[in-house]
Structure 1
Amino acid sequence: MPIKAILTDIEGTTSAVSFVFEVLFPYAAKHLPDFVRQNAAHEDVAEQLDAVRRDTNQPNADVERVIDILLNWIAEDRKATPLKALQGMVWEQGYQAGELKGHVYPDAVEALKRWHQEGYKLFVYSSGSIQAQKLIFGCSEAGDLSPLFSGYFDTTSGPKREAQSYERITQSIGLDAAQILFLSDIVEELDAARTAGMVTCGLAREGAELAGHVTVDSFERIKPSTL
């Protein structure tokens, strides 16, 4: 069954892990406290603060307590949906101010453009919020790449290491799982996608091997029509 759609991870796949940990996370940690204080009464922010209270079973936590929880989650790299949503809001301000530019590997940029021209539907699945995903590609060092993509998925579709998440994404895309190629640098994610029926290809830019999956060190080596 021919590949018709390509679903890609971001961190470590299209973009450097260092960009996330050395640029985005520190930026969020620095700016999130004041952002929350200034916008706590705004509906979209208040909704996420309430979600933090629910997730930690601290219904009466004040704004400063919630900020402390969020900063601890950043330090732990916690995959918490309200944190990801708030980080996305903070990063949006940074991108709009020109203080941030999304990193996307040049080989990924070229391949994504080529696949789009060849008629493949392109999608993103990352633990970062959909808003953050759109910002990385929409405000990238290579320009606005957002027109290349047909959709985005985050942790609201489920954890990235569970097959059920990929089954939900498959239903949303509207194709047979065997028509979707999933790209990632994490074996457990690739395993989950394959269990859900997707075709997989691992990215190991340092030349390592992702056990049990076709593994390449560059987007240049990915040929969807042959997988």
Structure 2
Amino acid sequence: MRAIVTDIEGTTSSISFVADVLFPYARERLASYCAAHPEEVAPILAEVEAIEPGDPIATMTRWIDEDKKITPLKTLQGLIWDGGFRESAFKGHIYPDAVAGLRRWHAAGLKLYVFSSGSVAAQKLIFGFSEAGDLTPLFSGYFDTTTGPKREAVAYTRIAEAIGLPVADVLFLSDVSAETDAAKAAGMRALLIDRAGGPADIASFDDIHL
């Protein structure tokens, strides 16, 4: 094993932090942020309208409520969250066992990466402004939905190609079985985590023995 790729929501971080803190924060500020940054958001809004014609703000608000993993929405959420993290409105939640595991694997020489439906910018904010401090030095790279859908094997093939390792030398961690199944279909090792202790391969990073 030469590299580990981890999901965020439900894996390194609590689902409630994303669903109950980050999503509402962005939802409440969609319209005002777009009004204040018209040039910055213009291509994002155009992409939303290309996907679904109509009022892009209303569309993205509905997408948030439906937990849609759509790239332009994730890009805009990351831009909005940037202000919240930098103003200390919240800090990224990372489970203590995840912090310990990531530090241990990094010290052992393993390359660490993130693959999340949230934008790369948002990923860096969660780990850069975490409750455990700045964890970004532990990571060698980040991947989001621009790499490919998380439930399709091609995304994991592309990640292995991007980091320059045989796919079999990479371990993927996620709380979604469709994602671990897709990684395995690509030839990657994968472990399903269920932090509530339900049917899965592991319940925490402490259960991972490399």
Q: TM-score range by the shorter chain?
A: over 0.9
Distance 2:151 2:199 in 1: 18
Aligned equivalent of 1:95: 85
Are 1:209 and 2:199 an aligned pair?
A: yes
**Could you tell me how far apart the structure 1 residues matched to 2:82 and 2:104 are?**
28
C-alpha displacement at 1:119, in angstroms? 0.2
Amino acid at match of 1:165: A
Which runs of 5 or more structure 2 residues have no equivalent in the other structure? Answer: none
Compute the displacement of 1:31 (Å): 1.4
2:11 maps to amino acid: T
Amino acid at match of 1:217: A
Aligned length: 210
Percentage of identical aligned residues = 53
Other-structure match for 1:11:
9
In structure 2, C-alpha distance between the alignment counterparts of 1:110 and 1:93, rounded to whole Å: 28
Q: Which amino acid aligns with 1:86?
A: L
| 1:105 Cα deviation after fit | 0.2
Give the C-alpha shift of residue 205 in structure 1: 1.2
Tell me, in whole angstroms, the C-alpha distance in 2 between the residues paired with 1:28 and 1:109. 26
User: Is 1:34 matched up with 2:32?
Assistant: yes
State yes or no: 1:68 paired with 2:66: no
Match of 2:20 in 1: 22
2:42 maps to what in 1?
A: 46
Distance in 2 between the 1:136 and 1:176 partners?
28
TM-score normalised according to structure 1 size = 0.90
Q: Could you list the runs of 5+ residues in structure 1 that have no partner in the other structure?
A: none
1:174 to 146, 164, 167: 164
Task: Provide the alpha-carbon RMSD of the alignment.
Answer: 0.9
- For residues 96-152 of structure 1, give each alpha carbon's deviation from its aligned partner in whole angstroms, at most 9, with x where no partner exists: 111021000000001100100000000000011111100000000000000000000
Helix, strand or coil at the partner of 2:140: strand
User: Is 1:110 the counterpart of 2:100 in the alignment?
Assistant: yes
Whether 1:222 aligns to 2:208 is yes
Partner Cα distance (2:2, 2:175) in 1: 21
TM-superposed CA distance for 1:204, in Å, is 1.2
* Partner residue, 1:186: 176
2:186 — aligned with what?
196
Q: Deviations over 1:36-72 (max 9, x none)?
A: 1111123xx211111111111x3xx5xxx22111111
Normalising by structure 2, we get a TM-score of 0.98
| Moved >4 Å (runs of 4+) | none
The residue type equivalent to 1:10 in the other structure is I
Q: Secondary structure at the match of 1:137?
A: helix
Match of residue 76, structure 2, among 69, 86, 96: 86
In terms of Rg, which structure is larger? Answer: 1
**Over residues 140-178 of structure 1, what are the superposed CA-to-partner deviations in whole Å (9 max), with x where a residue is unaligned?**
000000000000000001111100111111110110011
The answer to whether the aligner puts 1:156 opposite 2:146 as a matched pair is: yes
Q: Select which of 119, 138, 145 maps to 2:128.
A: 138
Give the deviation of 1:221 after TM superposition.
Answer: 1.3
